[in-house]
Amino acid sequence: MSAVAEVKTAAGGLVVSNPDILGGTPVFRGTRLPVQTLFDYLADGLSLDYFLDTFEGVTREQARAVLRYGWERIAAGLAA
Protein backbone atom coordinates (compact mmCIF):
# COMPACT_ATOMS: atom_id res chain seq x y z
CA MET A 1 0.00 0.00 0.00
CA SER A 2 1.34 3.42 -0.88
CA ALA A 3 1.74 6.22 1.64
CA VAL A 4 -0.78 8.30 -0.30
CA ALA A 5 -3.46 5.67 0.28
CA GLU A 6 -2.80 5.81 4.02
CA VAL A 7 -3.51 9.53 4.37
CA LYS A 8 -7.00 10.16 5.76
CA THR A 9 -8.95 13.37 6.12
CA ALA A 10 -11.94 14.52 8.15
CA ALA A 11 -13.92 17.68 8.83
CA GLY A 12 -14.02 18.69 5.20
CA GLY A 13 -10.27 18.17 4.82
CA LEU A 14 -9.35 20.37 7.78
CA VAL A 15 -8.02 17.38 9.71
CA VAL A 16 -5.37 15.06 8.29
CA SER A 17 -4.04 11.75 9.53
CA ASN A 18 -0.78 10.81 7.81
CA PRO A 19 1.47 8.01 9.11
CA ASP A 20 4.47 10.22 8.28
CA ILE A 21 3.24 13.07 10.53
CA LEU A 22 3.24 12.33 14.25
CA GLY A 23 2.62 8.66 13.52
CA GLY A 24 -0.83 9.30 12.06
CA THR A 25 -2.15 11.45 14.90
CA PRO A 26 -4.96 13.65 13.49
CA VAL A 27 -3.57 17.17 12.98
CA PHE A 28 -4.86 20.43 11.56
CA ARG A 29 -4.07 20.43 7.83
CA GLY A 30 -0.77 22.13 7.07
CA THR A 31 0.46 21.84 10.67
CA ARG A 32 1.89 19.30 13.07
CA LEU A 33 -0.60 20.40 15.73
CA PRO A 34 -2.79 17.56 16.99
CA VAL A 35 -6.51 18.31 16.92
CA GLN A 36 -6.72 16.78 20.39
CA THR A 37 -4.85 19.84 21.67
CA LEU A 38 -7.87 22.02 20.86
CA PHE A 39 -10.20 19.72 22.79
CA ASP A 40 -7.72 19.46 25.69
CA TYR A 41 -7.43 23.25 25.97
CA LEU A 42 -11.20 23.68 26.02
CA ALA A 43 -11.69 20.77 28.45
CA ASP A 44 -9.16 22.38 30.79
CA GLY A 45 -11.22 25.57 30.83
CA LEU A 46 -8.99 27.57 28.52
CA SER A 47 -10.63 29.79 25.93
CA LEU A 48 -10.67 29.39 22.18
CA ASP A 49 -8.95 32.77 21.97
CA TYR A 50 -6.12 31.51 24.18
CA PHE A 51 -5.74 28.42 21.98
CA LEU A 52 -5.64 30.55 18.83
CA ASP A 53 -3.10 32.94 20.36
CA THR A 54 -0.93 29.99 21.37
CA PHE A 55 -1.11 28.18 18.02
CA GLU A 56 -1.05 30.79 15.27
CA GLY A 57 -1.14 28.17 12.48
CA VAL A 58 -4.85 27.50 13.11
CA THR A 59 -7.56 30.01 12.24
CA ARG A 60 -10.73 30.63 14.20
CA GLU A 61 -12.73 29.29 11.27
CA GLN A 62 -10.72 26.05 11.23
CA ALA A 63 -11.12 25.54 14.97
CA ARG A 64 -14.85 26.25 14.89
CA ALA A 65 -15.33 23.89 11.93
CA VAL A 66 -13.50 21.09 13.76
CA LEU A 67 -15.60 21.65 16.88
CA ARG A 68 -18.77 21.66 14.78
CA TYR A 69 -17.65 18.44 13.08
CA GLY A 70 -17.10 16.83 16.47
CA TRP A 71 -20.56 17.82 17.59
CA GLU A 72 -22.12 16.53 14.36
CA ARG A 73 -20.40 13.16 14.89
CA ILE A 74 -21.77 12.94 18.43
CA ALA A 75 -25.28 13.91 17.32
CA ALA A 76 -25.20 11.40 14.44
CA GLY A 77 -24.06 8.65 16.77
CA LEU A 78 -26.93 9.33 19.16
CA ALA A 79 -29.48 9.46 16.36
CA ALA A 80 -28.45 6.06 15.01
Every domain of the chain and the residues it spans: 3-79
Given pLDDT bands bounded at 50, 70 and 90, which one contains residue 3? very low
Spatial strand order in the sheet of 8-10: 8-10, 15-17, 27-28
The answer on pLDDT for 5 being more than 80 is: no
Q: How large is the average pLDDT for residues 30-44? A: 97
What pairs with residue 34 in β-bridges?
Answer: 27
Instruction: Note the pLDDT of residue 66.
Output: 97
Give me the architecture of the 3-79 domain, per CATH.
Orthogonal Bundle (1.10)
Distance from C-alpha of 45 to C-alpha of 42, rounded to nearest angstrom: 5
What are the φ and ψ backbone dihedral angles of 17, each rounded to 5 degrees?
-120, 115
> What is the model's pTM?
0.86
